[in-house]
Structure formats: structure tokens, C-alpha cells
A = this chain, B = another copy of it.
Amino acid sequence: MTASTARTDTRPSPRKRAGNGAARQHDTDEIGLDALVGHAGYAVRRFQIWIFQDFIRTLGEVGIRPTQYSVLTVIGANPGLSQMAVANRLGIERARLVHLLDSLEQRKLVKRIKSKADRRSHALHLTAPGETALAKFKRLAAEHERHVEEKIGKANRQRLLRILAGFT
């Protein structure tokens, strides 16, 4: 083992870790993953956690989470959609979209307009402040995307998008 093992834990203590030589304690980076390596799902899960955390942190100043951002961009690009249409397009349950829209409507970013044609459904629109806010969100999201590039590389990010294009 190399003497300069990079510590991945965030313990602030400069002291040596607990543990004795008798019962051999594993260091974090010498624990094998065995079958987990080679499973795409595991890598994707870890990556998704990282990417969501960076997104949430980067857009933390405006208080927008990934799902909220996706709802806003779809409404912004397709004004007048019904809740069902948005839910289907984004793969969100319509029950869940209700709460998401409640929050966004409370923040005056989105408005539900009762449809004349189908009085069951609501036509979704961005408010005027919602439009300007979304523009700012997009700038921050682009900044987040640059973080992704720094993390995995510009070319790899492009490969990733191409590989997963079928899921959007």
C-alpha cells in the first residue's frame, strides 16, 4: 500500500483514526466492491447523487431543485400544457406534480389557468417574474453543467449525453 493514500472522509480531526493492529481494520479505499464493479446501475447511482448535490448547491441561492427546474423549463418552452401533459413528458406522477405546482405557484413563478375547452384541466403558464427568474435559473444551471465537465471531462460529458439520449 502506498503511504500517500488520499483520504476521502471529511473528518476534521488531524489525529490518527481509531483502530488497532490486532483486529485488522480496513481502510476505506482497500475495501473491495467485488461484483458491484461492472454494474452500471451502481456507478450511475453514485454519479446521480453527486450531480444532484452539485445542482442543488449551485442553484441553492435561488432555491430551485432539479425537479422544479425541469417543470419550469418544460412549461416555459410549452406554455398552456395541462398537468397531465407535463407529468407524462417528465415522467412525474400527476399526484406529485400537484405539490410541485402548488409550491411554484405560491412563489408566483407559475400560474394555473382554467381551460375553457376542458374544464377539468389547467393550462400552465409562467408568470412574468417567472420568465425572468427562469432565465437566471438557466444561467446557474449552465454553471452547474460546467462543474460536470470539470468532473468527468468535456468529451466524456458529450459521450454520456449521446449514450443516454434515448431516455430524455
Query: Which residues on A are within 8 Å of B, measured CB to CB?
Result: 5-11, 13, 15, 18-20, 22-23, 25-26, 28, 31-52, 55, 66, 70, 73-74, 76-82, 85, 88-89, 91, 113, 115-118, 123, 125, 138, 141, 144-145, 148, 151-152, 156-157, 159-161, 163-168
CA gap between A116 and B28 in the complex, in Å = 21
Q: Which residue of B lies closest to A79 (CB)?
A: B11
Measured between beta carbons, the chain B residues less than 8 angstroms from A43 are: 160-161, 164-165, 167-168
| A47→B166 CA distance, assembly (Å) | 9
Contact among B34, B77, B125, B141 with A8 in the assembled complex (CB-CB below 8 Å): B125
Checking B7, B18, B73, B160 against A163 with a beta-carbon cut-off of 8 angstroms, the contacting residue is B160
Shortest distance between the CB of A14 and any CB in chain B (Å):
10
Q: A7-B117, A23-B117 are in contact. List 7 more A-B contacts (CB 8 A).
A: A31-B81, A34-B73, A34-B74, A40-B157, A41-B55, A44-B51, A45-B52
